[in-house]
Amino acid sequence: MSPLCVSVTLWPVDVKSALTVAIRLGLGAALAWPVALAAAAPELPRGCAVATSAILVLTLWRPGAGLLLVAALAPTGALLAPAPARIAELFAWTFIAAWLLRLWHPLSSSWPRVITIPAALYGAAALASWLSLTIGGAGGVPPGALPLLAWHSIPPDHLIFSSPEPETWTLLQSLTGVSLLLAAVGITRTDAGIARAVAWTIVVSMALLALATLLDVARQWSEVEFGAWYLGRYVQGERFSLHLTDLNAAGSLYVLAGLTAAGLTLFDPDRRVRWITLLLVMLPAVWLTGSRSSTVAFLGGLLLLGAAQIDWRPTRAQIAAAASVLVAVLLAGVLMADWRTDVQGSAGQAVNLRSQFSATTARMFASAPVYGVGIGRYFDRSSEFMSDRLRAIYGNENAHNYFAQQFAELGVVGGSLFLWLVGACVWRGWIGDRTGTAKDRGVLMGLFAGTFGYLLTCFTGHPLLVSEAAIPFWAAFGVAAGRGGADADASALRRPVAVAAIVLLLAGVGQGVAAYARTAAPPPERGFHQPDTATDGTRYRWMVRHGVTYIQDGIGFLRLRLRAPDRPAVRTLIVETAVAGRVVDRREVTSGRWVAYDVAIREAASTPFRRVDLRVNQFWTEEVPLGRRTAERPIAVMVGGEGRIEWIPLR
């Protein structure tokens, strides 16, 4: 063979290899930059910076070790640093960045396409929804500046102060989960011992958190001189979790760890005592969360484990008998439950509210069935579709059904892709359990039961919206799915379905482009609260971290009058001003006095109006009523002059 033929034959391989390295390097560097900013931020506790460094070093040395540390530390994220810091995501981003930047080692020897294809398509659906929202709301920005607008829409300090728009932080959280799932699958394909290590890590870390919760309850009890009335509050239904304010999400995490421990108890007799001990430590903490869905999911997982333990292949008579017992148990529960809908915490009230949430979700889905209302938009738009009673109680709320919320936000296209991804992982996890060796079966069955039980809680909650609860699940789910054996062709329709999904997603982005092109008048401004009066009599409005308003086209000055809140801060408050997608000014704003300044606009645009984005490098929160509850609203800077941005045209 001539040298020319050799070079022609090798050229595609070299290009493919170089492209793969370039993509890995680009993605890894894109994640490493915000991780570095967060690690150096003065607001980040030093313990978090040390943990971040440990994850980085361990992942570069051995990715499996980094994955274990992330799974162990992620549930404690809210304990390590309060909101708005996203510590669990910081740990996950550090791991994924180091895993990608480990260029001297391939990511995996064999990727199961039955998982990678739906994972990539679901991630594309989330990104397409975000792009559609971002472009559709870009009225007043010339087409050439749209890439800049999209780039600035993702703040580099997201891990410290979070993204202000729900569609952005939901997108980043969703992509983090999918990326962690794929990383766990890849590591499992090359590290046979990772499954047992992940199971150990999740069970032990959650048992320690459960023990810490019980000790904290004991500490509070001692402060009231061990009065019996104090423990009576928990008997009467008061709920508590040390590491998460979302008690249902905490219950989902205990289901994941508890069922994993139960599986190891059944299938690992040599270590049965230690698994039973860890499980018994978790049970009181599960009860303290007060999550009914977690209790049901735990019982369902135990039934699954019991059937697998005896390798049950039921006859028709056995199925009928089991169904009769199940119906009898359900009827007993129905008869014993408190079905009064006006009693706080009763089963009747819970069922009534869940039915109203289902109706709310159905109405929202019907308003945009193909592509949904947009990723992350359920909470803010929920009040539009709620009943009057539900709106009076909650004001705004999530769907209390993560699967239904996916369909409401991403439509039938994105929701179906999410079901495809979950179904593919469950299928492969079941195959891995059935075909695993006797030594591995306990681990695989435990992880499968734990992740399956966790998914059951998603039908009545939204633990995947809580990073501290979602990240350990995605790690365990990826490990369980990664042990599913060879990647057989599941269906000849897989490729055309993927192509059709891509076409539909591009059409969804096209909807956002069409909405952008049709915008003839300034949209409503956003990012500002209602007017208020300062102590000096000045009328103003609080702005959140990102405010958007509009000015007419022309040459002139943008006049701003701003004041920083009288809150303690460890960094200077900086306000960045962008006009028509391009940054034109950055200004320091102090507390205690108003700062007035003009921003010169020297060039006219091709649009009849221009969009103005004001972004602040930090924010605070204050409590406000939301329905019958209290919520925390973000505040960043006071905008004077009745809270309006003044436009002074020169011609």
> What is the tens place of the pLDDT at every residue in 54-79?
999 999 999 999 999 999 999 999 99
- Whether residues 441 and 530 share a domain: the answer is no
**179 in a structural domain:** yes
- Whether residues 568 and 419 share a domain: the answer is no
Q: Please, which residues have CB within 8 angstroms of residue 497's CB and are 6 or more apart in sequence? A: 491
Q: How far apart are CA 422 and CA 115, in angstroms?
A: 9
- Of the pLDDT bands very low, low, confident and very high (cuts 50, 70, 90), residue 325 is low
* Residue 219, Cβ density class (10 Å: 0-12 exposed, 13-18 middle, ≥19 buried): exposed
- Whether residues 290 and 410 share a domain: the answer is yes
* Residues across the chain: 651
Q: Please, which residues have CB within 8 angstroms of residue 419's CB and are 6 or more apart in sequence? A: 403
Q: Please, which residues have CB within 8 angstroms of residue 615's CB and are 6 or more apart in sequence? A: 152, 155, 545, 546, 575, 576, 578
* Residue 7, Cβ density class (10 Å: 0-12 exposed, 13-18 middle, ≥19 buried): exposed
**54 in a structural domain:** no
- Whether residues 244 and 369 share a domain: the answer is yes
Residue 14 pLDDT: 66
- Whether residues 424 and 564 share a domain: the answer is no
Q: What is the pTM of this model?
A: 0.90
- Whether residues 476 and 623 share a domain: the answer is no
Q: Which of 225-234, 486-495, 527-536, 543-552 has the highest mean pLDDT?
A: 543-552
- Whether residues 276 and 372 share a domain: the answer is yes
Inform me whether the pLDDT recorded for 4 exceeds 60: no
Maximum C-alpha span of the chain: 91
Residue 504 pLDDT: 85
Q: Please, which residues have CB within 8 angstroms of residue 27's CB and are 6 or more apart in sequence? A: 100
* Residue that has been written with the tokens 């007043």 in this structure: 140
Closest by CA to 481, choosing from 174, 189, 205, 255, is 189
Between 171 and 316, the higher pLDDT residue:
171
Inform me whether the pLDDT recorded for 119 exceeds 50: yes
3-state helix, strand, coil in the chain (%, to 5): 60, 15, 25
- Of the pLDDT bands very low, low, confident and very high (cuts 50, 70, 90), residue 138 is very high
CATH number at residue 630: 2.60.120
Residue 338 pLDDT: 43
Domain total for the chain? 2
Residue 159 pLDDT: 96
CA 314 to mean position of chain CA atoms: 39
> What is the tens place of the pLDDT at every residue in 586-643?
999 988 889 999 998 888 777 789 999 999 999 998 888 777 777 788 999 999 877 6
Residue 603 pLDDT: 80
Share of the chain above pLDDT 70, in %: 87
- Report yes or no: 449 and 259 within 8 Å, Cβ to Cβ: yes
Q: Residue 263: which domain range?
A: 166-301+355-482
- Of the pLDDT bands very low, low, confident and very high (cuts 50, 70, 90), residue 324 is low
- Whether residues 554 and 618 share a domain: the answer is yes
Between 442 and 308, the higher pLDDT residue:
442
Share of the chain above pLDDT 90, in %: 53
Q: How far apart are CA 645 and CA 612, in angstroms?
A: 9
Q: How far apart are CA 187 and CA 67, in angstroms?
A: 9
Tokens encoding 74? 């992620």
Residue 487 pLDDT: 55
Q: How far apart are CA 408 and CA 364, in angstroms?
A: 6
**386 in a structural domain:** yes
Inform me whether the pLDDT recorded for 442 exceeds 90: no
β-strand partners of 550? 611
* Residue 90, Cβ density class (10 Å: 0-12 exposed, 13-18 middle, ≥19 buried): buried
Tokens encoding 264? 């190891």
Of 425, 450, 482, which marks where a domain is finished? 482
Q: How far apart are CA 134 and CA 509, in angstroms?
A: 10
- Whether residues 269 and 396 share a domain: the answer is yes
Residue 5 pLDDT: 43
> What is the tens place of the pLDDT at every residue in 143-187?
989 999 999 999 999 999 999 999 999 999 999 999 999 999 999
- Of the pLDDT bands very low, low, confident and very high (cuts 50, 70, 90), residue 391 is confident
Of 452, 482, 512, which marks where a domain is finished? 482
Q: How far apart are CA 417 and CA 118, in angstroms?
A: 6
> What is the tens place of the pLDDT at every residue in 568-596?
888 899 999 999 989 999 999 988 889 99
- Whether residues 547 and 442 share a domain: the answer is no
**79 in a structural domain:** no
**224 in a structural domain:** yes
Q: End-to-end distance of the chain based on CA atoms, in angstroms?
A: 74
* Residue 353, Cβ density class (10 Å: 0-12 exposed, 13-18 middle, ≥19 buried): middle
- Whether residues 282 and 414 share a domain: the answer is yes
Q: Which amino acid is at 101?
A: L
**8 in a structural domain:** no
**540 in a structural domain:** yes
Residue 444 pLDDT: 85
Of 482, 513, 536, which marks where a domain is finished? 482
Residue 193 pLDDT: 86
- Whether residues 463 and 561 share a domain: the answer is no
**385 in a structural domain:** yes
Alpha-carbon separation of residue 244 from 78, 90, 158, 252, 291 (angstroms): 7, 17, 20, 11, 13
